[in-house]
Amino acid sequence: MADCTDSVTVPEISNLLQMDPCLEPFEKDFKRRYGLFTKKIAMIEEAEGGYEKFTRGYESFGVHRQPDNGLYFKEWVPGAEAVFLTGDFNGWNHFSHPYNKLEFGKWDLYIPPKEDKSPPVPHGSKLKVVIRSKTGELLFRISPWAKYVVRDQTSVIYDWVHWDPPQQYKHQHPRPTKPRSLRIYESHVGIASPEGKVASYSNFTHNVLPKIKDLGYNCIQLMAVMEHAYYASFGYQVTSFFAASSRYGNPEELKELIDVAHSMGIIVLLDVVHSHASKNTEDGLNNFDGTDSCFFHSGMRGEHSLWGSKLFNYSSWEVLRFLLSNLRWWMEEYQFDGFRFDGVTSMLYHHHGIGVGFSGDYNEYFGLQVDEDSLIYLQVSNYILHTLYPDCITIAEDVSGMPALCRPVIEGGGGFDYRLAMAIPDKWIQIIKEFKDEDWNVGNIVHTLMNRRYAEKCIAYAESHDQALVGDKTLAFWLMDKEMYTNMSVFTPFTEVIDRGIQLHKMIRLITHALGGEGYLNFMGNEFGHPEWLDFPRKGNNESYHYARRQYNLVESEHLRYKQLYNFDRDMNWTEDKYGWLAAPPAFVSTKHEGDKIIVFERGNIIFIFNFHPSKSYSDYRVGVNLPGKYKIKLDSDKSDYGGHQRIDHSTDFFTEPVPFNNCSNSMM
């Protein structure tokens, strides 16, 4: 009997199998996945006239002003008996404006212009879709395609507001070209100010963007932009997928933020949440048409037991249109440059990664536990994004280490550009919590930083927003704790804790930057050693904003040591910008000396030398070098500008000798 995969050809699978022969036993899995992917693309071509058109669902669904100023409304409500439009415009009459029933569960409505030729629904007025379900219940819903939703101070529910301003923001600046090295500043607009309130898009544009530029980051990853009713969810319980969060301002202000970033040569990625959705019904997608399916799997398959959220049915045609159009919307309307896909591990497996430890055994990544509907959705997304926007960047948040996730779809891969190196921050927290620094195992640190799949690019980071959340704390706070409240002034002598904490903070960041991946990420504020942790206003903390802010004012004070950490982070990034180690092949490590606590490696024609010993300095220390010649110090964490002790003479030239050492053909002292 012939196998159904026999007829499938994955165009460049030989590349993949050559790089990792251990994947050969799973060639059939790759073929089957690729067969399902090509079938999906062919179906879109046949039924919809191609993915270019299919992914522009936002041009017909939702609400659209016509050339005559009349308004056209369209929704997909498969479980409805009848659909109506109500709002300020008709005095909230529930039944005066019925939709027409179309095929495939779609409904539409045209409302002609007023007598004075103005639109029948004015900009800024409230609307609701009224749905009569199969059981006869009346449901009041927000359009899934709503571009703007707001919440009154007196209400817990969001309202759909018709957004059609007379003056729309026009982008002035083209997208910057794709950077060869990605240095990401992970950001949350709402906490981007020292004030105890929700900060705005405009605050970010005028006060934070200049800092990001000065620090040498060339990419911003924006969290919590897709509208979410619960602020403390950090943006991960999305209620309105096409609406930019109104708690920070309006859509035009977000467009300006991205445009100004582009003018500075900074690209902007959206933290996109397509792995799950909020359980909210009145202002979310749940139970939209009165059934438990519609956008989601029905029954238990549609529930995420750990997150208390709903799971999309990626095999549904209209869900596919909705999600792919959502990606396209953020690229087109707001000019984002790509995406960090949240919760990819949850998508890839039927077990969602719950209670599963991934050992690296390849059998864990293939077989019945893989949710191929989700995997094909990710392949289709990546393929369409990279075809329509060749410079688009996609990053997977995957803790499982799924092989080929970051290889092109034509090799049978997932099509992502990068994955997050999620084991690295866990390792730093673990060793700081569990070991005195004289007991650090430098070999183990090097192994964690270099343990990644060959030719699948990683974003390395010492800490992200995850590590700062309540219950944990920032690396700086782990290192220096309560002494940060009293001993961070340059006028007080170094205490042992502050001195060691500041030196390790810099070294941890540099070794992660240089050894850990092909891109680097920092969460806002952590570059200067932000104290404490992150906690959003909620009942449990009396709705306090005290920990939901970033204290940039600490850097502005010249007499505090935060400025020194900021200076180091800035110069580290600009040094990478000049020498490009992130774009170079992985490092060659020549020294991992447990007794001396010394790590030496070469990457991109630069020698990196780290001394992690808590008390010993070394002079005339022999270091292996492959490239002969004269070397000069370009970055030194011990500089006084960075809170160091200035123990190294920067005017010294270091000459190599043809003395082989530690598997290198040359060496120097």
Contacts of 391 (CB under 8 A, 6+ apart): 175, 177, 178, 337
> Residue 397 catalytic?
yes
C-alpha–C-alpha distance, residues 121 and 107, integer Å: 19
Q: Please check whether residue 322 is in contact with residue 144, taking contact to mean a CB–CB distance below 8 angstroms.
A: yes
Contacts of 353 (CB under 8 A, 6+ apart): 345, 346, 399, 400
**Element of type H or E holding 101:** strand 100-101
Distance in angstroms between the alpha carbons of the first and the last residue of the chain: 68
C-alpha–C-alpha distance, residues 667 and 669, integer Å: 7
Residue 23: DSSP 8-state: G
Report which of 86, 84, 113 is spatially closest to residue 99, judged by C-alpha positions: 84
C-alpha–C-alpha distance, residues 400 and 216, integer Å: 31
Q: Which of the following is catalytic: 186, 318, 371, 397?
A: 397
Q: Which of the following is catalytic: 253, 303, 318, 342?
A: 342
Residue 17: DSSP 8-state: H
Given its phi and psi angles, is residue 428 left (phi above 0), alpha (psi -120 to 50 degrees) or beta? alpha
Q: Please check whether residue 400 is in contact with residue 348, taking contact to mean a CB–CB distance below 8 angstroms.
A: yes
C-alpha–C-alpha distance, residues 499 and 564, integer Å: 12
Tokens representing 558 are 């010249």
> Residue 342 catalytic?
yes
What are the backbone angles phi and psi of residue 254, rounded to the nearest 5°? -70, -40
Kindly write down the DSSP assignment for every residue of 202-244, as one continuous string: HHIIIIIHHHHHHHT--EEEEES-EE-S-GGGTT-S-SEEEEE
Report, as residue numbers or ranges, the catalytic residues.
342, 397
